[in-house]
Amino acid sequence: MRFKQLPLIPIVLVLAACSPSNGNEKGGGKGHGPMGGGMPASEVTVMTASVQSLPVTYEYVGQTAGSREVEVRARVTGILLSRNFKEGERVKKGQSLFTIDPKPFEAALQRAVADVAAAEARLEQSKRNAARLKPLYAEKAVSQKEHDDAVSAEQIGAADVAAARARLTEARLNLEYTKVEAPVSGVSTRAVPSEGTLVSGPSVLLTTVVQVDPIWVNFGIPDNERARLQKEVEAGRLLLPKNGSVEVALRLADGSIYQHTGRLNFSDVRISTATGTQEARAELPNKEGVLRPGQFVRVLLRGATRPNAVTVPQRAVMEGPQGKFVYVVDEKSTASPRPVEVGDWAGENWIITSGLKGGEQVIVDGVMKIGPGAPVKVAEKPAEKKEANLGKK
């Protein structure tokens, strides 16, 4: 009996499919598909693409460095007597950092003073001899040789005095160099040698003074991005600030923005063969000492603008086999896919460089439940719904 009833099932299904729907019996609405059973319109949220001028911010990885990093070295050889500063603290220009034993240099200075006195005495004696022989030579009372020797002795004496005075100046300088002073104001690093060490002149590094106000930030701009930006500037899609006055801000490791801004003070014309980037440098004030050399930061370059830019939210841009696209509501109230090209970020939005014009309605919410050519119904905005409810009351 079961096998005899099976042939009846297809006949029942065919009759059910051919029977008129309840809507048609009542004279109801017409469907989009055959026999009036079309796809219902999906409710979506749209936004009107607007054209506006947008500020652009570019972000790169940078590292802070002292604007001046000076190695402190002794100019003379001697025993290091004392260290006159606290390591890691700020020092002022001219402040005494180290003291080298001055006694040997004091003795050398006294010897140089005596040498100058002796040379001056010999010079005076030579002058008197030359003055005495001059009238005698005029009367032919002395020979030509004696006169010439007296004149030469006076000249040699003058040269000896000049040499002695130069040695005296050198001795005074060496004595001053026993006091090693800070060449610039900044923050000192650790002292390399300890007291009692024999310092052999400039070959020994004593410490380093780093100037941190202002502070420098070094970063690199990738060559491919630099070329892309240049093309956009030439095409008029990007406007750079006048006179190249780009504002520089810093995002610190904790995500906060540094309170001061600065300016670019160097941009290399070369591309680094090691990193493939164009090296650049910014200068920022650092009076509070918040920034320390060696920190990694995010460099934010501000001042550029994009004229006539079209933006859409991130969620409106889809990824397909042929690239990115958006759904646009056409005049038939259907979802029409539109291939687009995107540029930089503007907050939470994509900047559309091509494929979309201002005034078009882009589907923002509900894109997951529609397909190409699907009928859509634009949802009312919350403000519009509120006004409608108030009107009913």
Return the domain boundaries, the chain. 42-54+309-380, 55-66+211-306
Residues 140-152, mean pLDDT to the nearest whole number: 89
Grouping H, G, I as helix, E, B as strand and the rest as coil, residue 190 is coil
Give the confidence band of 121 by pLDDT, cuts at 50, 70, 90.
Answer: very high
Predicted confidence (pLDDT) at residue 384 exceeds the cutoff of 60? no
Residues 14-27, mean pLDDT to the nearest whole number: 39
Give the confidence band of 237 by pLDDT, cuts at 50, 70, 90.
Answer: confident
**173-to-30, 230, 310 alpha-carbon distances in Å:** 107, 55, 70
Residues 141-170, mean pLDDT to the nearest whole number: 93
Q: Using the 8-state DSSP alphabet, how is residue 202 labeled?
A: G
**Mean pLDDT across the chain:** 84
Q: What is the DSSP string of 69-91?
A: EEEEE-SSEEEEEEE-S-TTSEE
Cβ atoms of 164 and 112 within 8 Å: the answer is: yes
Predicted confidence (pLDDT) at residue 389 exceeds the cutoff of 60? no
Residues 284-295, mean pLDDT to the nearest whole number: 92
Grouping H, G, I as helix, E, B as strand and the rest as coil, residue 251 is strand
Task: Please tell me the CATH code under which domain 42-54+309-380 is placed.
Answer: 2.40.420.20
Predicted confidence (pLDDT) at residue 24 exceeds the cutoff of 60? no
Predicted confidence (pLDDT) at residue 34 exceeds the cutoff of 60? no
Predicted confidence (pLDDT) at residue 360 exceeds the cutoff of 70? yes
Whether the ω angle into residue 307 lies within 30 degrees of 0, i.e. cis, is no
Q: In the CATH hierarchy, which top-level class contains the domain 55-66+211-306?
A: mainly beta
For the segment 159-180, what is each residue's pLDDT rounded down to a tens digit? Answer: 999 999 999 999 999 999 999 9
